[in-house]
A and B are shown apart, each in its own frame.
Chain A
Amino acid sequence: MKRTLLSVSIVVAAAICAPAQTIKVPESWDKLAAKADDVVNVSLDKKMLQFASKFMEEDENEKHLVSKLNGIYVHSLEFKNEGEFTESDVDPIRTQLQGPEWIHIVDVHNKTERENVVIYLKMVNNQSLGMAILVEEPKELTFVHLDGPISPGDLSDLSGSFGIPKNLHVSEKETSKPKAEIKK
């Protein structure tokens, strides 16, 4: 009985202590950050989001969406010169998004602006429980993790706020087929 109680306590303690952010930013990101000219890390946990949502009176959609999320995490690096990061620096993040829960829904390569946007959706029991966005530009790298129930169509409500890059829109129609195009 004591052993069971101890096991339960350990599991509960681990669950409480576990960081809310489920995607780890790899060590290579820290090394990249050391090379970057500007680094911005934004971290909004559930408590902060719930508090902030109380004051989002002008947009009911955004208010409802934000109050449901568990966290918004944005990591952004800006470099002085092009070519200071390579695909191998970004691969560890992509690897974490290869699991069965993550679905690669959007992949845009803009040749003119040399910009790549990749969006993954976390699906568990047919429910979307998170979204990961990776934006690569010649001198900029941004990784966004939206933790909690969110659908691709909700992205436009959050884009431009909370440190999330502007002009990100995904329509439900586009996400009905895998690797659809993003409106930018």
Chain B
Amino acid sequence: MKFLCLAVIFISCASASAETGINTVVRLLEVRYSVRQHGIPGLWLAKPFMIGSGVSGMKVAEFPKFRVLARDTYSLRQQVEKCLGPEWHPFVEEWSKAYGEWSLVVTKAKDQRISMLIVTSEHEDGVTVIQLNLSGRALREWVDEPESAKHNSASLR
């Protein structure tokens, strides 16, 4: 069964299109943990509030009532990076034992923009996957304080 699961993950990673991103990670989580993502209805309503924030093209997938166990984060991180491919680079990984939280942030620089993909697992809110594009100014804020990735991603939700 474990082999079958690994094979499915491998195939789903291998069959991912050249453009990897949030869908790749969502598919990985769904296969690996047998969970289903919930989209956020009306996310487009938030778009006007993002004008001027330097954030665009935001996509969110939620897995409520599900969280990644601390002992599983290492192998999950490896699989996420493998599935996303070499275009994506690890940026920040953060976990807090006390709060049962884990965050992984990876980035992709293409042309004149930075795409960021955030995977967070929180005790109460479950797992959330966010993909967004950042302007130079917004990127600067993240780079200045990368350790606040968790708080930055929480403020986006």
Partner-B contacts on A (CB < 8 A): 36-45, 47-48, 51-52, 54-56, 74, 76, 80, 161-163
Contact = CB atoms under 8 A, between A and B. Distances in A.
Interface string B131-154: 000001101100111110000000
Nearest to B91: A43
Interface residues of B, number: 22
Contact of A40 (B90, B94, B114, B143): B94
A43 B89 contact: yes
A63 to B, nearest CB: 11
A48 B90 CA distance: 10
18 contacts: A37-B96, A38-B94, A38-B95, A38-B96, A38-B98, A40-B94, A40-B146, A41-B93, A42-B91, A43-B91, A43-B92, A44-B91, A48-B89, A48-B91, A48-B107, A55-B136, A55-B137, A162-B146
A36 B97 contact: yes
Given A39-B94, A44-B143, 7 more contacts: A42-B147, A43-B92, A47-B89, A51-B109, A55-B137, A55-B139, A161-B144
A54 B109 CA distance: 13
A162 B148 CA distance: 11
B77 to A, nearest CB: 10
Contacts of A161: 143-145
A126 B155 CA distance: 47
B84 to A, nearest CB: 14
A56 B94 contact: no
B27 to A, nearest CB: 25
A44 B89 CA distance: 8
A36 B97 CA distance: 7
Nearest to B71: A34
A163 B95 contact: no
A47 B109 contact: yes
A71 B147 CA distance: 17
B97 A38 contact: yes
Interface in B18-63: none
Contact of A56 (B92, B95, B140, B145): B140
Contacts of A38: 94-98
Interface in B81-129: 89-98, 107, 109, 114
A36 B92 CA distance: 17
Given A40-B92, A42-B92, A45-B89, A163 B146 contact: yes
A80 B93 CA distance: 19
Contacts of A39: 93-96
A80 B97 CA distance: 10
A56 B136 CA distance: 9
Contact of A43 (B90, B95, B114, B147): B90
B94 A37 contact: no
B96 to A, nearest CB: 5
